[in-house]
């Protein structure tokens, strides 16, 4: 429940097909690649990653607003790199949802990510 609450707080505008009450348990059924950060018994951050045997994906990083710019996201991402490396992963990709999101892009660039020119496409298959 704390993970769902954090996700809903950090990603309030997520599309309905990303509803955390359904998505997070499904992700945990596939693998346990959700890293979490706690402080004084409270969940303050989470990082969801994946690895398909070819490349790693940094799906989402959620840090409670009161704990941003304190290294929580950086520590979670670095821990996810260690986890993915242990699985044999040599490259991690991510997508930033909105084009005009310079703070998020700058954050990922500070961790060594570089913009790769790609077209991202998606289709709901309901």
Q: Which two tokens stand for residue 45?
A: 């951050």
Percent of the chain at pLDDT exceeding 90: 55
Using a cut of 0.75, tell me whether the model's pTM lies above it.
yes
Q: What is the pLDDT of residue 50?
A: 93
Q: Which domains does the chain have, with CATH numbers?
A: 2-110 (3.40.630.30)
Q: How far apart are the C-alpha atoms of 6 and 82, rounded to whole Å?
A: 23
Instruction: Give pLDDT, residue 29.
Output: 62
Alpha helices by DSSP H, listed for the chain, are 2-10, 20-30, 72-86, 102-110
Structure confidence at residue 30 (pLDDT): 62
pLDDT value for 15? 74
Q: What is the pLDDT of residues 13-69, one digit of tens each?
A: 777 777 777 777 777 666 678 999 999 999 999 999 999 899 999 999 999 999 999
8 Å CB contact between 44 and 9: no
Sheet containing 56-63: give its strands across.
34-39, 42-51, 56-63, 92-94
Residues 6+ apart with CB under 8 A from 50: 31, 33, 56, 57, 59
């Amino acid at each position: 429940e704390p993970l769902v609450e954090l996700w809903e707080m950090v990603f309030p505008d997520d599309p309905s097909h990303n509803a955390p009450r359904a998505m997070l348990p499904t992700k945990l059924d596939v693998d346990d690649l959700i890293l979490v950060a706690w402080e004084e018994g409270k969940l303050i951050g989470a990082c969801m990653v994946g690895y398909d045997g070819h490349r790693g994906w940094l799906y989402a990083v959620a840090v409670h607003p009161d704990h941003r710019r304190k290294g929580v996201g950086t520590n979670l991402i670095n821990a996810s790199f260690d986890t993915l490396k242990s699985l044999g992963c040599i490259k991690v990709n991510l997508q930033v949802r909105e084009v005009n999101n310079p703070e998020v892009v700058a954050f990922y660039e500070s961790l060594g990510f570089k913009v790769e020119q790609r077209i991202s496409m998606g289709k709901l298959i309901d």
